[in-house]
Chain A
């Protein structure tokens, strides 16, 4: 007969054991309460976020509820009034970006402006969406000679040549050494040029194809976005992106409240969580309000241009019409909307 059965039958329970159990129970409850005290609302919000649907599939009411929940959580977590916009993509707009590679001095002001604007994690490590690469000039040539050469020429038999795609016989340059560019003493350095790389907002984005849950998709204005709450962190998109433009939150983000930008967008710069992907969105929280991306505003030499590709009078279209332009990894047919040009 077990002790428990005996106790039940006789009603003879060891007082000391009962007290011990009682105290242990009270202590455990107190411990559990202490652990969650002060963040009950935030915990509840996180719990609800885990079970929310894909944002695009939500009803308007659900979206509103989600936005309010996020605003409440961020406001509580960061101790400042935070807004989360869900402004839709602008109509009749297709964003394009152009960067003057001759003007860029590699100062990385754009990188820091981006980090500040987009609430990236600040340390261990600082996540940067723009990477400025320092490259040897190599045989880089800005000569216009032979610019239109490079195609098979028509001979007496007719034009049976194979289209080689671009001015293959006279590329603008072949880079030599490439290195990540951190703390230069002085910029620009001799015999180097600087090559900022960020999300190219491809028209045919391989990352979107690779996402198994459609957490990342291309919006009608041409910007590829991520639903951070729907992302499962599989990193397939990172593998698929030929530009290495996506960043993964390996750890819990470190964003000090005093550094947090409280003006956010659901698909843009709202604080992310561990285990999700993030990348440049052309600062959609700004561009949807008619403002320029933070990197462009910060550039001290005016190397960056941004505009609507549907408008022939926009900066980007004018650059495409008049300047020497090249794309990064154009051979992959991703149709990047980020163009490099030489002024």
Chain B
């Protein structure tokens, strides 16, 4: 025989279960939605390719009409000295 108190407990347990199930449902639905929406589509892939290509084209513009200057012996020595000095200073 079920008394009134037990019945109340059952009902509150049931409500708790209901809410837990609802919460899990919401989380799972959000997870599925996220998986579906973030999966890369073909247009995403082509966009990525286009972005990468556009970055590559910037380099071409930069390289246009660039002057290349041969270093003199003094400049080479000076450069090596500066690089080495910087290196040893950093170590010290």
B28 touches A197 (CB 8 A): no
- Report chain A residues within 8 Å CB of B14: 13, 18
Q: Are A310 and B84 in contact (CB under 8 A)?
A: yes
B63 contacts A175, CB within 8 Å? yes
A175, A250, A321, A335: which has the most chain B beta carbons within 10 Å?
A250
Partner of A310, one of B44, B53, B76, B87: B87
A28 adjacent to chain B (CB < 8 Å):
yes
Contact yes or no, A171 B68, CB < 8 A: yes
Interface locus among A62-70, A206-214, A278-286, A324-332: A324-332
Interface size on A, residues (CB 8 A): 67
Chain B interface: which of A106-114, A124-132, A256-264?
A124-132
Partner of B45 from the list A22, A124, A140, A175 (CB cut-off 8 Å) is: A124
With a 10 A CB-CB cut-off, give which of B14, B25, B40 has the most chain A CB atoms. B25
> Is A77 interfacial (CB-CB < 8 Å)?
no
- Report the bound CA distance from A140 to B40 in whole Å: 46
| CB–CB B71/A326 < 8 A | yes
Minimum CB distance partner of A24 in chain B = B25
Task: Tell me the A18-65 residues at the B interface (CB within 8 Å).
Answer: 18, 21-22, 24-25, 28-29, 31-32, 35
Scan residues 106-146 of chain A and give those whose CB is less than 8 A from a CB of chain B. Answer: 124-125, 127, 131, 133, 135, 140
CA distance A174 to B63 in the complex (A): 10
Chain A minimum-CB-distance residue to B35:
A35
The answer on a CB contact under 8 Å between B83 and A309 is yes
Residues of A within 8 A of B76 (CB): 320-321, 325
Pair B28/A29 contact, Cβ less than 8 Å: yes
CB-based nearest B residue for A179 = B60
- Across-interface contacts of A329 in B (CB, < 8 A): 66
Per-position binary interface string of chain A over residues 306-319, scored 1 when its CB falls under 8 Å from any chain B CB and 0 otherwise: 00011000000100
* B2: min CB distance to chain A, Å: 9
- Encoded as 1 (CB less than 8 Å from any A CB) or 0, chain B from 52 to 80 comes to 11011111101111111111110110011
Within 8 A of A (CB), among B7-52: 7-8, 10-12, 14-15, 18, 20-22, 24-25, 27-29, 31-32, 35, 40, 44-45, 47-49, 51-52
A189 CB within 8 Å of chain B: no
Binds B, one of A3-11, A153-161, A265-273, A292-300: A3-11
Report the bound CA distance from A32 to B28 in whole Å: 5
**Residues of chain B contacted by A327 (CB below 8 angstroms):** 71
Shortest beta-carbon contacts, A-B, top 6 = A25-B21, A28-B28, A251-B48, A250-B48, A244-B59, A166-B69
Q: Which residues of B contact A (CB under 8 A)?
A: 7-8, 10-12, 14-15, 18, 20-22, 24-25, 27-29, 31-32, 35, 40, 44-45, 47-49, 51-53, 55-60, 62-73, 75-76, 79-80, 82-84, 86-87, 90-91
Sample of 12 more A-B contacts, CB < 8 Å, known A242-B62, A317-B80:
A13-B14, A18-B18, A28-B21, A28-B28, A28-B29, A175-B64, A176-B65, A178-B60, A178-B63, A252-B40, A325-B70, A335-B86
